[in-house]
Amino acid sequence: MAHESIINLNQDNFEAEVLQSSVPVLVDFWAEWCGPCRMIGPVLDQMAGELGDSAKIGKVNVDHNQALAAKFGVRSIPLLLFFKDGEIKD
């Protein structure tokens, strides 16, 4: 079960929750059928519990949000992207 602070992201809320966020955001592109995605889930849950208000974690289900996956060039999952000030950071 995902930590309550993890945000389910979609086309409607991505800009507000990620691109306009005042804190850094770690975005997990995933799918329900993806074994490795399920394996990192508990790690993300733990991180979400430890981050508090200093950063956010969001998840994009690529099966339900294909336009977002295409926009960010998602070719394989899981894919974690770190956003700060509306931009992807290395």
Q: Which of 3, 5, 31, 34 is catalytic?
A: 34
Helices (H), ranges, the chain: 14, 35-51, 66-71
Known catalytic residue: 77?
no
Known catalytic residue: 37?
yes
27 and 18 Cβ atoms separated by less than 8 Å: yes
Q: Which of 6, 18, 26, 37 is catalytic?
A: 37
Cα separation, 9 vs 43, in Å, equals 18
Catalytic residues: 34, 37
